[in-house]
Structure 1
Amino acid sequence: MSTRSQSPLPVPRDRGLESLEPQPTRAAAHIVLVHGRQGSGRATWTHADYHIFWPNWLVDDIKNAGVFTWSYDSTVKYYQSAASTVTIDNYSDNLLADLSDMREKTGSCDLPIFFVAHNLGGLVCANALIRTLQKTEPDTKNVAEMTRGILFLGTPHEGSDLAKWADLFAIFLGIEKGSGAQKNIKFLMTDSTKLRELSENLAALLRRRNESGDPMQKINVVCFWEERSMKILKAK
């Protein structure tokens, strides 16, 4: 029987970067978990039946790593919601700003970064790395330079046909045409030009880093996808 403690550490905040360590100490690496659409820094990583927040295990098992969740408003319930006015570029810029600010304040800009990202969160992370190429701030560029690994969980790199259903629901919910919410839905479609460009730019970045000959520049990538069928609508 596992001896792991199931008592939760402080609940991550609804927005921004949150350390999962009660008393953060100098770490050797940063692990950042980024949730996906309709998720949160708590619910996405919590087992629905047993109510276990498994990122706590990372804190227990990887003693020399600083573990964080990064949360953002990814919900779209009605057109007035905050997520309805924010695009994926805004999400990515906020992630970069929060990470670079934390690392600068804690004097940890020399530490490697590993992302664990679910669904839309994977695209937010990938887009953040690409957007650093357009930035001039050293602390912001440092986030990409020190990224050493990304674990993608169910990230739709090639888009999702479900986004077309979401587009229809957006009309039904009254989401304004041209709003951030609608742009994000369009972005996730299988025929999205922006998503295709992001995938191509990410592949080019990974190729350039991994073929540089410098092992410290390599970004390790692991992808997981769900293969079981999913009911879109389930009546109780």
Structure 2
Amino acid sequence: MGNELHLLTEEPQRPTMDIVAVHGLNGHYMDTFTDKSWFAPATMWLKDLLPEKIPGCRVMSFEYDASVNSMSVANVRDSARSLLEHLKDKREDTIYADVPIVIVAHSLGGIVIKQVFFGTPHRGADAAQWALMAEKIGHAVFHTGQSAFLRTLERNSEDLYKISEDFRPISANYAIVSFYEEYAYNILGKVIVDKDSAIMGLPHEQKMMLSGTHTSMCRFSKSDKQFDAVWKRIKRAATGVSRP
């Protein structure tokens, strides 16, 4: 698996914004944001629903190796640099020079890049919770210590503290929406990322609970009413910082 920024929509003639999705731990650039129902076709809301609500948007999803048992030595900052370089290449065309960028990040993805957050563990979470969730989702054997990302996500991680402290002085320049999960993950009996960790506590930060678990909170079907709240906040984020 290499790092790649996938274009999910056709290039608009008159672009209004770039929307970039970043998956989380053990995630996938498509599956993380895809609702798979037993009684309806799968819905990948980034490409199937967003273009209808935000005309002129160009939607991309970043692929990087965030597997818990990966042998990659890349860390959060390496992945962030890779994403920025790929995005720079995508925006070389002059028609994108002044187009705003909105980042939609789930979980670990919000540590890699911070603007719009879905259950991002700003203060970390217990390593056991991440391990159990990754094993359940990825059907992979969990090997302690192999993933640099997993070590970063642990509560009280020094890397996580440094990243958060680096971001705080410049956070006022960005519109920020933090979504947190409502329901416990069934194999744990509690949420993966609690509200205290999912919210940064910034003055201009918008906060909203989404009805779902840590994995289902970023998947929407065509009939999901929560999608309205999400796409509207993505659209607002593109206009800049909203002060209280």
* Structure-1 separation of matches of 2:128 and 2:151: 7
Task: Quote the RMSD (CA, aligned, Å).
Answer: 2.8
Counterpart residue number, 1:3: none
Of 56, 79, 86, the residue aligned with 1:98 is 86
Relative distance call for 1:163 and 1:105 in structure 2 (3 A) is farther
Point out 4+ residue stretches in structure 1 off by more than 2 angstroms: 22-26, 162-167, 172-175, 231-234
Alignment check: 8 A CA contact 2:4 2:64 kept = yes
Q: CA deviation at 1:162?
A: 3.5
Alignment check: 8 A CA contact 1:160 1:190 kept = yes
* TM-score w.r.t. length of structure 1: 0.66
Q: Is structure 2 residue 50 aligned with structure 1 residue 58?
A: yes
Of 175, 186, 194, the residue aligned with 1:231 is 186
Counterpart residue number, 1:21: 9
* Structure-1 separation of matches of 2:49 and 2:66: 25
Counterpart residue number, 1:161: 126
Q: CA deviation at 1:106?
A: 5.5
Counterpart residue number, 1:151: 116
Relative distance call for 1:76 and 1:186 in structure 2 (3 A) is closer
Question: Which amino acid letter does the alignment assign opposite residue 153 of structure 2?
Answer: L
Q: CA deviation at 1:62?
A: 1.0
Counterpart residue number, 2:149: 184
SS in 2 for 1:230: coil
Q: Is structure 2 residue 71 aligned with structure 1 residue 73?
A: no
SS in 2 for 1:166: helix
SS in 1 for 2:117: strand
* Structure-2 separation of matches of 1:64 and 1:24: 5
* Structure-2 separation of matches of 1:37 and 1:103: 27
Greater helix fraction, Structure 1 or Structure 2: 1
* Structure-1 separation of matches of 2:9 and 2:125: 35
Counterpart residue number, 1:46: 34
Identity %: 33
Structure 2's unaligned 5+ residue stretches are 136-140, 190-244
SS in 2 for 1:194: helix
Alignment check: 8 A CA contact 2:68 2:143 kept = no
Of 176, 187, 190, the residue aligned with 1:221 is 176
Alignment check: 8 A CA contact 2:118 2:178 kept = yes
Relative distance call for 1:194 and 1:76 in structure 2 (3 A) is closer
* TM-score w.r.t. length of structure 2: 0.64
SS in 1 for 2:61: strand
SS in 2 for 1:96: helix
* Structure-1 separation of matches of 2:119 and 2:64: 18
Deviations 1:45-99 (A, max 9, x none): 111324211112111221122111111121234xxx45x3221111111101100
Structure 1's unaligned 5+ residue stretches are 1-12, 127-149, 210-218
Question: Which protein has greater RCO, CA pairs closer than 8 Å, 6+ apart?
Answer: 2
Q: CA deviation at 1:102?
A: 1.0
User: What is the total number of aligned residue pairs between the two structures?
Assistant: 179
